[in-house]
Structures are given as structure tokens and as C-alpha cells.
């Protein structure tokens, strides 16, 4: 079978199945990341006042952003667990489990007491629930990405793979819009009392999404074939790290370069930075700028995914990282202009670049790893990239600003991360259209790294297929 053909013949009603999978991955990841970004935004606007005020204005912001990063420490654990189980029992069950966990933990944040009401117990409970969000996010993306790409025809994997990717900007769009609306409905101090809680409580709907996925969406055809062939890997995580550790690291760095800059908008830092007295934007203006950013990121993530089917995943990423460096150089000067147009233009330019360094990620990651360790590979790479990139980016930015008194240091830090991401991209080959079937594992191991000769194995130690 050609590497550029679909791995599985299309079953009757395949178009309907693919549409249902696409809708499920968009809805699931959108609501999942809505939950995640509501927390990140509120961490910049509310939590320093309600949970960490005793630390003082500057340290309260740093500690609040530290809780944003806490969840990233739990992402690898969620990725290891979900990756192992996803390669053992299937993509769909793990997607349902992680969606349900995120819905419950986010809803509970919405009913937490504040520090004034419960003392130290309040921030401790907040951190525990944030950790639960991290466990969920660490496993959810891998399930959604594989469901979307493994169901897709080979020549449209980039487009179908963009569906879970747009969950991030859709989540940002929804969270920013809902918070902006709450800022209108609950103005001033009322937002600090009740307004911020309602977006968290809405997340209970995610549990219903998980139930719908379980009842309405078919398992990935690749995993069905693995199950039928009785070729499940006994310990997929161990096999992944034994044969593909360099690939995991490079894949993680590809994402880290995007994630560090992405968390300037999704992690709440720009929201907090722009509302500082020195800059002077009001909370509503910043929230609407974030809403616009989510919309533009959504559009360009789809464009990047579709374009990657035509010119390749690697080329799209190269264009994206060049744009990202230019956008980062312009971001803080535009925000520092204190003009509303400057704020909107700065985040808009950045989200164009972020779309190009994120839209094709599902398809490229899926094509990097063989079927038997694929869930583990994409999940662990994604989780590590999150830690190396976005985990503490808002906290690092806040600390750099506090230490230097200028945003220039933040810009340099983010551009360095983009350069690292670009270097990782240049180290990998484009594998557009490769056969994803478990019957093609030897084919899948060929030519992953840019320095390899044609036909040379990708395994770090041996060219043999991983033992089952």
C-alpha cells in the first residue's frame, strides 16, 4: 500500500462518521480549553485579590500565575496514564474520561470559598483542582488528535487534524467572551464576588459532551485494526522511550516554541499586563481583545491545517515561526502605546503566527509515531512541550518585568523560545500522507529526522519494530 493512500478503505457512511468525529473533537477540545482558559484569565484578573492578596500586589500576581503553571506539572502524568491506556483500551474511552474529569474539576473551582472565608484552605483547594485540570488536559488532546487524524483520508489529515487544534482558540474565544459578558452583567466589585464564578459553573456541560462522545462516536479505525490483529504493545510508554526518545524531545520542542508565546494571551499575562496602572487599559477592553484573538487564532489554525495538506506540515511551521518572531518583536511596543488599536493589532498579529505554528500539529504528531505507541507518543510530547513552553511563561514574564522594569526582557525570552521551536522543526522531516496502519510500522520508522538517509530507521537503538 502506498504511503500516500488512505490506510483503511472507507466504510459505508464514512463521510458521516468523519463529520461526527470532527464535531466531537471540536466540541470536546473547545469546552475543555474553555475551562482551562477561564482559569488562566481569572488567575490574572481575580485570584491575586481573592486567594493571594496577603502576598502583596506583585507577589500575588506571581503566585497566582504559578498556580497556572502547577497544572502543567501534572500534564505529563495525565499524558503517561492516558497514553498507556489509549494504546491499550482505545482512543475513545480516554477522551470521554478526560472530558468528564475536566468538567468536574472546573465546576468545583466555581464554588470555592475565598481566602477571607476559609483561610489557607482556599488556595490549597484551588491548587488541587488546578492539578486535576492538568491531569485531564494531559490526556485529552492526544485522544482528540488521534480520533480526528486516524479517521481522516490521507490527503485531508491536516484539515481534519485542525479540528482539535481549533479547540484552543475556540476555548479562548468562548472564555474571553463569557468573562467580558460577566464583566458587563456584574460590573466593578460584583465581578469579584459573583461574576467570575459563573463561567466555571457552566463547565458542568462538559460531562454531557463526554456522554455524547461515548454514545455517538466510533473508535478510531487504526485502533480497531490493532485490536483485531491482537498487536497491542505490552508497555507502550517503555517502548516509546526506548525507541523514540529523541523524537519525543524534538516534538516537544516544536510545541514549546508555540506554547510559550501562546500563553501570553491564553495564560492571562497580557490581560494582567495591559490592566496595570502603568498601561491603563480597562478590564473590559482587554477581555474583548482576547476574544478577538481567539477568533483570529481559530481562522488561521484552520488555514494552516488545510495548507499543510498542500505544502507540507514542516513548511507551514517554518512560515509560522518566522511570523511569530516578527509578531513578538511588535507585541509589547504596540501594547505599551496605550492605544486600543495597538492592543488589538498586537494580539491579532501574534495569533496569526500562533495559528501557523499550531494548526498542523495534530496531523504532524500523528504521522511521526507508529500506531502501537502513537497515543503515548503524541500525548507525552504534547505534555512535555507544554511544560517547556507555556507552563511558567506567564510567571517568568511577570518575574522578568519585576526584575528589569521593562518588557524588553520578555520579548527576548519569547523570541529565544521561538528560535528553539524553529530549530526543532528543521530537525524533522515532513511525513505527509504516510500510512498510519499498524501493518506499516516498519515503513513508519523510516526517515523521521532531517539528517537521516532515505530508508534509515528512526529507532534510537535498533531498526526492529518495538516488541509486543
Q: What pLDDT sits at residue 468?
A: 38
Helix axes 408-426, 236-265, angle to 10 degrees: 140
- CB count within 10 Å of CB 439 equals 14
Q: What pLDDT sits at residue 202?
A: 85
Q: What pLDDT sits at residue 204?
A: 82
Residue 103: band (very low, low, confident or very high) from pLDDT cuts 50, 70, 90 = confident
- Is 90 exceeded by the pLDDT of residue 420? yes
Q: What pLDDT sits at residue 447?
A: 67
Residue with the bigger pLDDT between 92 and 466: it is: 92
Q: What pLDDT sits at residue 466?
A: 42
Residue 300: band (very low, low, confident or very high) from pLDDT cuts 50, 70, 90 = very high
Q: What pLDDT sits at residue 3?
A: 41
Q: What pLDDT sits at residue 441?
A: 60
Note the pLDDT tens digit of each residue in 194-232.
Answer: 888 999 998 887 777 777 776 777 787 787 877 776 666
Q: Mean pLDDT: which of 32-36, 79-83, 87-91, 268-272 is highest?
A: 79-83
Instruction: Give the global pTM.
Output: 0.80
Residue 461: band (very low, low, confident or very high) from pLDDT cuts 50, 70, 90 = very low
Residue 465: band (very low, low, confident or very high) from pLDDT cuts 50, 70, 90 = very low
- Is 80 exceeded by the pLDDT of residue 72? no
| Phi/psi of residue 154, nearest 5 degrees | -60, -35
Grid cell listed for 232: 497491542
Q: What pLDDT sits at residue 439?
A: 65
DSSP code per residue over 226-291: HHHHT---SSHHHHHHHHHHHHHHHHHHHHHHHHHHHHHHTTSHHHHHHTSTTT---HHHHHHHHH
Rounded to an integer, the average pLDDT of 154-172 is 88
Among 412, 401, 173, smallest CA distance to 279 is for 401
Q: What pLDDT sits at residue 467?
A: 38
Q: Which residues contact 265 (CB under 8 A, 6 or more apart)?
A: 172, 290, 293, 347, 350, 351, 354
- Is 50 exceeded by the pLDDT of residue 460? no
Residue 301: band (very low, low, confident or very high) from pLDDT cuts 50, 70, 90 = very high
Among 26, 30, 230, smallest CA distance to 147 is for 26
Domain annotation for the chain: domains and CATH numbers: 14-444 (1.20.1250.20)
- Is 70 exceeded by the pLDDT of residue 297? yes
Q: What pLDDT sits at residue 438?
A: 72
Note the pLDDT tens digit of each residue in 364-418.
Answer: 999 999 888 898 899 899 888 988 987 778 888 888 988 998 899 999 999 999 9
93: enclosing H helix or E strand: helix 91-109
Q: What pLDDT sits at residue 335?
A: 92
Grid cell listed for 367: 504521522
Cross-strand bridge partners of residue 39: none
Contact 141/102 with Cβ under 8 angstroms? no
Residue 452: band (very low, low, confident or very high) from pLDDT cuts 50, 70, 90 = low
- CB count within 10 Å of CB 247 equals 21
Contact 448/431 with Cβ under 8 angstroms? yes
Note the pLDDT tens digit of each residue in 230-265.
Answer: 666 678 888 898 889 999 999 999 999 999 998 776
Q: What pLDDT sits at residue 233?
A: 62
What is the distance between the alpha carbons of residues 52 and 86, in angstroms, rounded to a whole number? 38
What is the distance between the alpha carbons of residues 131 and 129, in angstroms, rounded to a whole number? 5
- Based on its alpha-carbon atoms, the radius of gyration of the chain, rounded to whole angstroms, reads 21
Q: What pLDDT sits at residue 327?
A: 95
Q: What pLDDT sits at residue 1?
A: 36
Residue 334: band (very low, low, confident or very high) from pLDDT cuts 50, 70, 90 = very high
Residue with the bigger pLDDT between 311 and 5: it is: 311
Q: What pLDDT sits at residue 134?
A: 84
What b/e string do you get for 155-168 counting C-beta neighbours within 10 Å, with b at 16 or more? ebbbbbbbbbbbbb
DSSP code per residue over 179-229: HHHHHHHS-THHIIIIITHHHHHGGGHHHHHHHHHHHH-PPPHHHHHHHHH
What is the distance between the alpha carbons of residues 245 and 7, in angstroms, rounded to a whole number? 26
Among 435, 438, 436, smallest CA distance to 468 is for 438
Note the pLDDT tens digit of each residue in 31-63.
Answer: 777 877 788 778 878 888 888 877 777 788 788
Contact 257/321 with Cβ under 8 angstroms? yes
The least confident of 11-20, 74-83, 219-228 is 11-20
The fraction of the chain above a pLDDT of 70, given in percent, is: 89
326: enclosing H helix or E strand: helix 313-336
- Three-state SS string over 30-91 comes to HHHHHHHHHHHHHHHHCHHHHCCHHHCHHHHHHHHHHHHHHHHHHHHHHHHHHHHHHHHHCH
Rounded to an integer, the average pLDDT of 120-138 is 88
Burial class (CB in 10 A: 0-12, 13-18, 19+), 116: exposed
Amino acid at each position: 500500500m502506498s504511503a500516500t493512500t488512505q490506510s483503511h478503505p472507507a466504510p459505508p457512511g464514512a463521510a458521516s462518521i468523519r463529520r461526527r468525529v470532527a464535531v466531537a473533537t471540536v466540541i470536546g477540545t473547545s469546552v475543555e480549553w474553555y475551562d482551562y482558559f477561564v482559569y488562566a484569565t481569572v488567575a490574572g484578573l481575580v485570584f491575586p485579590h481573592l486567594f493571594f492578596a496577603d502576598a502583596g500586589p506583585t507577589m500575588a500576581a506571581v503566585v497566582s500565575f504559578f498556580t497556572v503553571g502547577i497544572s502543567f506539572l501534572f500534564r505529563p502524568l495525565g499524558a503517561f496514564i492516558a497514553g498507556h491506556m489509549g494504546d491499550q483500551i482505545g482512543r475513545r474511552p480516554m477522551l470521554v474520561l478526560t472530558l468528564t474529569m475536566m468538567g468536574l474539576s472546573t465546576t468545583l473551582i466555581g464554588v470555592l470559598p475565598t481566602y477571607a472565608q476559609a483561610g489557607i484552605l482556599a488556595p490549597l483547594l484551588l491548587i488541587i483542582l488546578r492539578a486535576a485540570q492538568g491531569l485531564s488536559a494531559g490526556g485529552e488532546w492526544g485522544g482528540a488528535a488521534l480520533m480526528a487524524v486516524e479517521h481522516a483520508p490521507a490527503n485531508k489529515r491536516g484539515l481534519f487534524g485542525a479540528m482539535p487544534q481549533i479547540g484552543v482558540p475556540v476555548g479562548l474565544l468562548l472564555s474571553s467572551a463569557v468573562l467580558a459578558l460577566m464583566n458587563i452583567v456584574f460590573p466593578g466589585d460584583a465581578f469579584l464576588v459573583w461574576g467570575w464564578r459563573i463561567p466555571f459553573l457552566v463547565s458542568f456541560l462538559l460531562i454531557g459532551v463526554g456522554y455524547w462522545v461515548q454514545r455517538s462516536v466510533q473508535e478510531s479505525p487504526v485502533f480497531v485494526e490493532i485490536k483485531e490483529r491482537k498487536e497491542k504493545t505490552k508497555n507502550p510508554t517503555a517502548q516509546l522511550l526506548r525507541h523514540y526518545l529523541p523524537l519525543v524531545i524534538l516534538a516537544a520542542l516544536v510545541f514549546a516554541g508555540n506554547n510559550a508565546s501562546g500563553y501570553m494571551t491564553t495564560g492571562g499575562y497580557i490581560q494582567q499586563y495591559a490592566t496595570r496602572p502603568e498601561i491603563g487599559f480597562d478590564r473590559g477592553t482587554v477581555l474583548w481583545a482576547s476574544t478577538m484573538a481567539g477568533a483570529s487564532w481559530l481562522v488561521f489554525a484552520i488555514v494552516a491545517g488545510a495548507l499543510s495538506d498542500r505544502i507540507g506540515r514542516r513548511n507551514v511551521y517554518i512560515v509560522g515561526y518566522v511570523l511569530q518572531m516578527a509578531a513578538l518583536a511588535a507585541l509589547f511596543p504596540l501594547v505599551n502605546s496605550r492605544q486600543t488599536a495597538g492592543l488589538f493589532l498586537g494580539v491579532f498579529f501574534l495569533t496569526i503566527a500562533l495559528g501557523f505554528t499550531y494548526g498542523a500539529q495534530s496531523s504532524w504528531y500523528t504521522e511521526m509515531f507508529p500506531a502501537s505507541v502513537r497515543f503515548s507518543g503524541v500525548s507525552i510530547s504534547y505534555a512535555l512541550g507544554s511544560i517547556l513552553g507555556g507552563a511558567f511563561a506567564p510567571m517568568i514574564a511577570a518575574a522578568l518585568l519585576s526584575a528589569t522594569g521593562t518588557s524588553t526582557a520578555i520579548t527576548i525570552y519569547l523570541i529565544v523560545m521561538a528560535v528553539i521551536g524553529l530549530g526543532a522543526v528543521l530537525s524533522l522531516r515532513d511525513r505527509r500522507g504516510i500510512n498510519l496502519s499498524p501493518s506499516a510500522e516498519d515503513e513508519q520508522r523510516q526517515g523521521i529526522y532531517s539528517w537521516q538517509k532515505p530508508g534509515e530507521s528512526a529507532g534510537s537503538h535498533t531498526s526492529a519494530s518495538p516488541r509486543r
